[in-house]
Structure 1
Amino acid sequence: MTLTDDFMEDRDRRERTGLDECIFCASKSIDQISRIVGQIFEEGRRVLLTRLTPEQYAKLPKETKAVITYDALSNTAVVGEPIELNRSLLVAIVSGGTSDLPIVAEAAKTLEYYGYVASVFQDLGVAGLWRIVDAAPALQNFPIIIAVAGMDAALPTVLAGLVPSVVIAVPTSVGYGVTAGGQAALNSLLSSCVPGVTVVNIDNGFGAASAAIRVLNAGNF
């Protein structure tokens, strides 16, 4: 069904895949975002917006801002009322460093949109190996772990060697020199010697959370 002249919503995606179509705001105009949000709000439905920058948010009309809940750290927003949250120990998000926090937040907000509260373990980079070793007993309680790391992105590989959980790795663009932009982190994770690590694209916290939702749906947690 066409919502605007240039946007056709995939209304049946949740029924087919267990995941909603979310609104990727990068490269969309303010007018496009406003029209999409307005139509969805008028129909009384929920939707997650991703990659909505503070600069874009500041330019949105006040009537659009009034119907969304915006989080600047994760660059996400939600149209519609919040749903009841499952606070069981199902998904942990582990970061290599504080600089990875925006991607951690994107993953956490995506999970929250679907009704899951993630437990966040921040700043467990392998340069201080004791940190991940100390956290490992607690992390073993989670069936799914999203591991977020830049630089050489060693954290997800080390973590996957310590716990039986599904590990979903997110390489980030955090770094400098040869690690700038995240390509080194991505290549490192794709080269992991630990079998079974799932790897998503650079800075893709949304994709990692979506993968976690698929696992949760398939496992009937």
Structure 2
Amino acid sequence: MSCELCERPADAYLCPACAADLADRLDLLPALYEQLGDMLAPARGDGGRTATVVTAPIPVRLDVVDHRTAFAVLPSWARALADDREQAAQVLRADDLGARVTAACAVLRGAVPWIAATWPAAADLAREVRDLYDGARTVVGADDLPARMGRCPAVVDGAVCGAELLLPHGQQVLRCQWCSATYPPGVWAALRMAQTKVSAA
């Protein structure tokens, strides 16, 4: 059996590395949603002389609106999870999409072990969460978001960990959220070489 997302050997729908990536992204999505909200207004000029405006400007950035609207898929996933587990839906039915997104991410994050091991929809959820996360990052930028540092090359129980390494903004030591391997700045060159060897294998 192999992971339905990355096709690495696994005894579940998602391998440990893909399950860890899913959990990490679910942790970060509520903050990304809020950061997109801060970017809704179009950028203003520098205060210097400007030409007379002939047409009224669009009051919000439509690309940001589109990205925020896409987050509505998360409460839908949480409801689907509750249905398949025959549980009462725990997602808020508030008018505020941000509150529903935060609640849905908490529900899904708490169920990641069950999702990875048991839910046939696990890979579809992981793909949608990854696409949502990556799309939002392209708009927000990465200045105050964790830097993506490749995959963890540490060997755990005879297999490469493979979880995505994320370096939180302002931190110096890189720590794998899955296997807890640490990579201080002095070993980053060796880390890159190890990652290259793993990808070439």
TM-score using structure 2 length: 0.25
Give the strand-richer structure, 1 or 2.
1
- Structure with the larger RCO, 1 or 2 (CA within 8 Å, 6+ apart): 2
TM-score using structure 1 length: 0.23
